[in-house]
């Protein structure tokens, strides 16, 4: 006897977990399936959300809308889970050179950037930091404790009979006219949220992924930093003397572990900014499911209208997932159009 669902989500990383909370909110009948043996991208994520990104410090895509939605969404989940997962924190970016100071001084006058700038200082802010030229403090940023979010969400999903641990082989999926069936499960809608594994999955492997491996470390050090520090890496103060540090970007070597090269890169970048002793207490790695055009993948299979996808979240999973989940669900439930910039229809010419 098969169990019937309205929705089945495959993958409990950030994308699948966020979507499951939207389904809970709407009181829909669903199951989320996950293969726990894989090192997911979400398990390595630093969890930072930040309206100003990139080497040239540009306002990120739909920054205002996404940051508001992100904070509202994770606050709601904090209330549901009765625990803290969202930490609002400013970002301190020490200046590299005089041009960098000039650029930020100009940004101070710009309407776009003014709202994000808290303070520009041309003197050092911290002892033991290589910030002699001073730096800029920006606001409307923070981080999500992704590990806690995923772990406690899983516990909640399990206790409400929404969670099953298995690996789904796409070839076992049988598509009928109105239902999809596999492994004693029958569902009206199947949504793939399987991160970098989507690259080899028969339903959506035609989408142009641009996978990027990343490594992070957790360290313990005595120094006290108030803000997240960003200078070629992120240093995130989490708890007392604990910091998350990352990340590396590797496009060619996807070795399934942390590497000496990756860890050394992080160590070198820490010593370029901080003159402080520390102990590494944890190492992590993951493969970011990025897309060629740096936009998410949301939508439905060209042939099977009840097989959907949320993917391509790249290095912004925390802030993109609520927007993407809402887009997909509102399309299914209210027939609202999916944002063209994330709709996978933009790549229909690649499907054959």
Ligand X SMILES: Cc1cc2nc3c(=O)[nH]c(=O)nc-3n(C[C@H](O)[C@H](O)[C@H](O)COP(=O)(O)OP(=O)(O)OC[C@H]3O[C@@H](n4cnc5c(N)ncnc54)[C@H](O)[C@@H]3O)c2cc1C
Query: Which residues would be at the binding site for ligand X (CB under 6 A)?
Result: 10-16, 33-35, 38, 40-42, 44-49, 167-168, 193-197, 214-216, 246-247, 286, 288-289, 311, 313-319
Angle between helices 146-159 and 63-81 (to 10 degrees): 50
Rank residues 124 and 259 by Cβ distance to ligand X and give the closer one.
259
Rounding to the nearest 10 degrees, give the CA dihedral for residues 214, 62, 97, 123.
-100
3-state SS of 135-199 is EEEECCCEEECHHHHHHHHHHHHHHCCCEEECCCCHHHCEECCCCEEECCEEEEEEEECCHHHHH
Contact 240, 194 (CB under 8 A): no
The smaller minimum CB distance to ligand X, of residues 114 and 202, is found at 202
Q: Give CA–CA dist 257/39, Å, rounded.
A: 9
In the complex, minimum distance from the CB of residue 50 to ligand X, in angstroms, rounded to a whole number: 8
Nearer CB in complex with ligand X: 122/286: 286
User: Among residues 155 and 277, whose Cβ is nearest to ligand X?
Assistant: 155
Compute the least distance from the CB of residue 94 to ligand X, in Å. 19
Distances (CA, A) of 99 to 106, 114, 326: 11, 19, 41
User: How near is the Cβ of 102 to ligand X at its closest, in Å?
Assistant: 28
Parallel, antiparallel, or unpaired: how do β-strands 135-138 and 91-94 relate?
Answer: antiparallel
Taking the complex as a whole, the smallest distance from the CB of residue 305 to ligand X amounts, in Å, to: 21
- 107 vs 284, beta carbon nearer ligand X: 284
Residue nearest to ligand X (CB): 13
* Residue 184 backbone class (left: φ over 0; alpha: ψ -120 to 50; beta: rest): left
Smallest distance from ligand X to CB 282, Å:
12
Which residue's CB is nearer to ligand X, number 40 or number 138? 40
Min CB(213)–ligand X separation in Å: 7
Strand order in the sheet with 48-49: 48-49, 142-144, 86-88
The SS3 of residue 30 is strand
Whole-angstrom Cα distance, residue 257 to residue 285?
Answer: 7
In the complex, the smallest distance separating the C-beta of residue 72 from ligand X, rounded to whole angstroms, is 16
| Cβ proximity to ligand X, 75 vs 277, nearer residue | 75
DSSP 8-state class, residue 2: P
């Amino acid at each position: 006897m098969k169990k019937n669902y309205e929705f089945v989500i495959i993958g409990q990383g950030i994308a699948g977990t966020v979507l499951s909370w939207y389904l809970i909110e709407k009181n829909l009948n669903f199951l989320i399936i996950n293969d726990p043996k894989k090192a997911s991208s979400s398990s390595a994520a630093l969890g930072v959300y930040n309206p100003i990104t990139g080497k040239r410090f540009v306002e990120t895509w739909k920054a205002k809308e996404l940051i508001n939605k992100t904070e509202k969404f994770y606050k709601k989940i904090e209330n549901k889970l009765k625990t803290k997962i969202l930490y609002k924190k400013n970002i301190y970016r020490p200046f590299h050179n005089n041009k960098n100071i000039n650029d930020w001084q100009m940004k101070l006058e710009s309407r776009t950037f003014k709202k994000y700038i808290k303070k520009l200082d041309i003197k050092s802010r911290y002892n033991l930091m290589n910030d002699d030229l001073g730096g800029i403090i920006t606001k409307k940023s923070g981080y999500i404790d992704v590990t806690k979010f995923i772990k406690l969400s899983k516990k909640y999903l399990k206790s409400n009979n929404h969670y099953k641990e298995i690996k789904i082989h796409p070839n076992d999926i049988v598509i009928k006219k109105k239902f999809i069936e596999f492994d004693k499960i029958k569902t009206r809608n199947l949504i793939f949220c399987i991160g970098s594994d989507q690259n080899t999955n028969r339903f959506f492997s035609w989408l142009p992924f641009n996978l990027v491996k990343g490594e992070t470390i957790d360290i313990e050090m005595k120094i006290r930093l108030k803000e997240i520090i960003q200078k070629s890496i992120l240093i995130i103060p989490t708890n007392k003397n604990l910091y998350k540090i990352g990340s590396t970007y590797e496009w060619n070597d996807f070795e399934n572990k942390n590497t000496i090269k990756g860890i050394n890169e992080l160590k070198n970048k820490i010593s370029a900014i901080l003159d402080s002793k520390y102990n590494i207490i944890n190492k992590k790695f993951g493969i970011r499911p990025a897309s060629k055009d740096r936009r998410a993948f949301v939508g439905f299979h060209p042939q099977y209208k009840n097989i959907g996808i949320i993917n391509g979240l790249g290095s912004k999973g925390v802030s993109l997932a609520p927007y993407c989940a809402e887009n997909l669900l509102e399309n299914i439930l209210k027939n609202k159009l999916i944002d063209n910039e994330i709709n996978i229809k933009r790549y229909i010419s690649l499907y054959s």
